[in-house]
Chain A
Amino acid sequence: MVNFKRRAVFAAATALAVLALTGCGAGSGDDAMDVWMYQDSLNVVQQAAVDRFNAEHGPDVTATMVEVPGDGYEDRLRTVMGSDDQPDVFFNWGGGGIRPYVEAGTLLPLDDLLADDPELRDAFLPAVLQAGQVDGVQYGIPLRGTQPVLLFYNREVFAEAGAEPPRTWEDVLDLVEVFQEAGVTPFALAGATPWTEQMWLQYLVDRYGGPEVFARIQSGDHEGWRDPAVLRAAETVRDLVERGAFGDNFGSVSYTEGAASALLAQGRAAMHLMGAWEYSTQLADAPAFAESGLGYVPFPAMPGGAGDPANLVGNPTNFFSVTADSPHTEHALAFLRTTADEEYVRDMVANGEVPTTADAAEHFADAPDPEYAEFQYELVQRAPSFTLSWDQALPPSVAAPMHTEIQRLFNGQSTPERFTDALAALR
């Protein structure tokens, strides 16, 4: 029986050991520099940069790219940033998403980096670089192409209906009628995924009231939601829904399963308001359509709107930030500098992205679709303002319920007045 007792104690000790082990995850070694990336097909560019960095900085420090699956990226980043196991360098969207980290003092200010290296500062488009600031302090260096929201359309469907892509809001309303008569849904909309509906509101608010309206909200003034431009935008959304611009069942359509993009590619919808990545999505799912049938125009102007029709909304770019406690800040900064290197920019262009560096245009001949790259680059370069996606610009505690309110507005579960009241009440 002594034997048995010993075994029981042993079993308990094992259980304790297992607990202790699970408690402390695999920590990174001293000479390892972790670079966290949001996992997708564009990461080949960053992997190549990491490889070049390791070849140059050799044994002193080894950069490792950690690819985190997209859906869980923000959750996991949040958890790890609250622990002692922070990454050294990580991918983010700038704006409200990194504000909590800035407030917790976990991010390294990059102002000195740019002051010491004017060449790096001048390498990027100023408007884009500015989106990497929080309260005027630089915390992010652009790492990806620009992703404005554009109005995509199906050329074939337009040709059959004898229609032209819209330039004004009147055109939009006419086209809604034309396509309804032709039995085609005017706009594909993935209403089960509210950030796609958010794109409509973002453009409408910007066109009606200019970028100042959202800038005020972003600065923390909740009453900004009561700006007349927001109400007008919400009324316009209801008007579009009631005209049948999005069809009858958009509330059940989800973006992540590719349903909305498929509607456009198959000609069952005429237009689709979506981020610039729609092109790569179509290229992967319907290559023939992407190459010859996919058209794109900027979002049209609104009659009597105060906003410049050249303004853009979307994701100016994604950013790399450095954690303040990283033992490798010097190397991390050296790694950040490589994002303006010629090899890096060339890799991005070849991968179908539109870099935000000032000299990007020189490389467009190597792009899979030079015309599309040129179109986007010019839009971004000319845009007086480029508003970051609302859900990225606002703190997460506001962004999540905001999505719900947007969905309720589109579904008719709310009215424009109740919508603005509900948003103004969010904290």
Chain B
Amino acid sequence: MSAAAGGPARPGAAWALPGALFFLVFAVVPLLLVGYLSLTSWEGLGAPRFTGAQNWVRLAGDPVMRQAVVLSAALTAATWLVQTPISLLLGVWAAGPQRNRAVLSAVFFTPLLFSSAAVAIVWKTLLDPNFGPITRVGPWLGLPDANVLGSSAGAFLAVVFVSAWQFIPLHTLIYQGGARQIPAVLYGAAEIDGAGRFRRFWHVTLPQLRHTITTSSVLMVVGALTYFETVLILTQGGPGTDTSIVPYLMYRVGFAGYEMGYASAIAATLVVAATGVSLLLVRFTGFAAMRSTREGM
């Protein structure tokens, strides 16, 4: 077979088969199963019993689920508000030509290399109210008894903080890559027009990073909506249920209470919500149109 006239040959459909099969078996089939399980009552033993919309009715009226949705939304908002400005500034800085940049960037990058579980365990130890360093730092922060994980606000902020500590490096890296792509000639032109440092950032860097911001934001939002390990290890959803975000609630209902049917309803809600939010983000930021940031250059 030779390349057909009028363009390069496209690879045969068979090439997509392994990937498609994997996606089918590990994504589509489980999704359909979860959809089915959400209509049943199943404790993990024997056969699931069909109960119709019972789990969904319960879900709609469950105060713990309502709290989990609010907490997930708050966590997503807090994650975006904390991580975006910091990683944007760090990323733009790291893209520059400074001499110390490479070394410091490498240091900033390290948290990303650690496993989430290890990070959560380390922070739990650091936040131990009797033996951790928080006992010394706490009084300066207005926490004389170092009771961080035992208070509602403290535990929530601890989750926000640990996730920021862990994921800002990833987003810094994305912004660094984005900022490096910006042609130097734009800055040169801005300088000739008399733009200072701040105006160059505001009028050149930010508009040029538009797509990068969308990419990073979608990752952040979807990541925050499905955030799990840190909550499991650091706070176990506590105190009470005050850090029980939706993914953790799903785990607790499914694997501590063995109510697989109800847990599946929570999971299905999460899938729909996360997909919806990322589709909205892509649509309203104009990312889907794939309009170039360098039109006319």
Contacts and interface: CB of A to CB of B under 8 A. Distances in A.
Given A100-B43, A262-B131, A404-B241, A192 B258 contact: no
Nearest to A104: B45
A16 B125 CA distance: 44
Given A249-B130, A249-B145, A250-B150, A78 B22 contact: no
Contact of B150 (A5, A100, A106, A411): A411
Interface string B125-164: 1011111000000000000011111111010000000000
Given A5-B12, A104-B45, A263-B130, A249 B257 contact: no
Interface in A8-25: 8-9, 11-12, 15-16, 19
Given A8-B12, A259-B131, A396-B258, A254 B145 contact: no
B1 A12 contact: no
Interface string B106-134: 00000000000000000011011111000
A293 interface: no
A400 B244 CA distance: 13
A82 interface: yes
A314 interface: no
Contacts of A408: 239-241
Contacts of B235: 192
A396 B238 CA distance: 18
B137 to A, nearest CB: 14
Interface in B4-45: 12, 14-15, 17-18, 21-22, 25, 43-45
Contact of A78 (B15, B45, B129, B252): B45
Contact of A248 (B46, B147, B240, B256): B147
A15 B240 contact: no
B128 A253 contact: yes
Contacts of B152: 413
Given A8-B12, A12-B21, A257-B128, A413 B259 contact: no
Contact of A104 (B46, B124, B236, B255): B46
A81 interface: yes
Contacts, number: 124
A261 B235 CA distance: 20
Interface residues of B, number: 45
A78 B46 CA distance: 11
A15 B25 CA distance: 11
B17 A12 contact: yes
Majority DSSP secondary structure for residues of B touching A? loop
A257 B125 contact: yes
A422 to B, nearest CB: 10
B242 interface: yes
Given A15-B22, A249-B147, A396 B45 contact: no
How many chain A residues sit at the interface, stated as a range, is 35 or more
Interface in B209-234: none
A65 B241 CA distance: 38
B256 A400 contact: yes
A155 B280 CA distance: 64
Nearest to B134: A252
Contacts of B255: 75
B21 A396 contact: no
A75 B147 CA distance: 31
A1 B1 contact: yes
Majority DSSP secondary structure for residues of A touching B? helix
B45 A251 contact: no
Contacts of B252: 400
A251 B151 contact: yes
Contacts of B149: 192, 251-252
A198 interface: no
B124 A257 contact: yes
Interface string B42-61: 01111000000000000000
B148 A396 contact: no
A407 interface: yes
B18 A12 contact: yes
A280 interface: no
Interface string B241-274: 1100000000011011111000000000000000
Interface string B171-202: 00000000000000000000000000000000
20 contacts: A5-B12, A5-B14, A8-B17, A12-B18, A15-B17, A82-B46, A100-B43, A100-B45, A248-B147, A249-B130, A249-B146, A251-B147, A251-B151, A252-B128, A252-B154, A253-B128, A254-B128, A259-B128, A259-B130, A396-B257
Across chains A and B, which 9 residue pairs bring their CB atoms closest together, nearest first? Answer: A251-B150, A249-B147, A252-B150, A249-B129, A408-B240, A248-B145, A400-B256, A8-B14, A252-B149
Given A9-B14, A19-B21, A192-B150, 10 more contacts: A5-B14, A11-B17, A12-B14, A16-B21, A79-B44, A81-B44, A192-B236, A397-B43, A397-B259, A398-B257
Interface of B: 1, 12, 14-15, 17-18, 21-22, 25, 43-46, 64, 124-125, 127-131, 145-152, 154, 235-242, 252-253, 255-259
